[in-house]
Amino acid sequence: MENTAFRIRLIQEDDNRTLAQTIRTVLAEYGICRQGTVATDPATDNLFSLYQDPGSTYFIVEVDKHIAGGAGIHKLNGNETGICELQKMYLLPAARGKGIGSLLMKKCLQFAKEQGYAQCYLETMPELKAAIRLYEKTGFHYLRRPVGNTGHYACGIWMTKEL
């Protein structure tokens, strides 16, 4: 890992605005800031409240004391218990290619295991090639159709991992 000053911490209420802006910046970078994604999801503007639900958490990545992304675990909406969703995993360029994404993923999956989830589900888009490689490397497998009811109909790649 490159020598970058970073830390991973839990989300705080005053992170909402910066985190929403970070997520939308990454989506815009890849040309996917559109309807049916987290970009237009009203929850994106108040992630702190969303991740106060039991069995959920959100980790913030700070690089040089600035928010550079994050990722969360939440019970999968519209599905039986035992399945969580890896949500809103986005990193600005300052946090990419340094192993930070892998560490963030490990923290999320460890949390999911500790909460007793049996599977972790995620949705993504083909434009996010580096993220897809990370998911594959971490042991996620492709599904033929979506699971649950995330509301993110623009995501055309669905994956799951046994915990």
Could you tell me the CATH number of the domain that includes residue 58? 3.40.630.30
Has residue 128 been placed in a domain? yes
How far, in Å, CA of 108 to CA of 135, rounded? 12
What is the number of structural domains in the chain? 1
What is the 3 state secondary structure string of 54-73? CCCEEEEEEECCEEEEEEEE
Average pLDDT over all residues of the chain: 91
The C-alpha atoms of residue 22 and residue 145 are separated, in whole angstroms, by: 28
Q: Which residue has the higher pLDDT, 54 or 39?
A: 54
Question: Could you tell me the residue range of the domain that residue 39 belongs to?
Answer: 6-162
* pLDDT value of residue 1: 46
Q: Would you say residue 1 lies in a domain?
A: no
Note whether 115 and 142 are within 8 A (CB). no
Does any domain span residue 152?
A: yes
Render the burial of 52-69: b for 16+ CB within 10 Å, e for the rest: eeeebbbbbbbbeeebbb
In degrees rounded to 5, what are phi and psi of residue 124? -150, -175
Residue 80 or 83, more confident: 83
In a domain, 24, yes or no: yes
* Residue 92 in domain: yes
Q: Confidence band (pLDDT; 50, 70, 90) for 74? A: very high
Q: Computed over its alpha carbons, how large is the radius of gyration of the chain?
A: 14
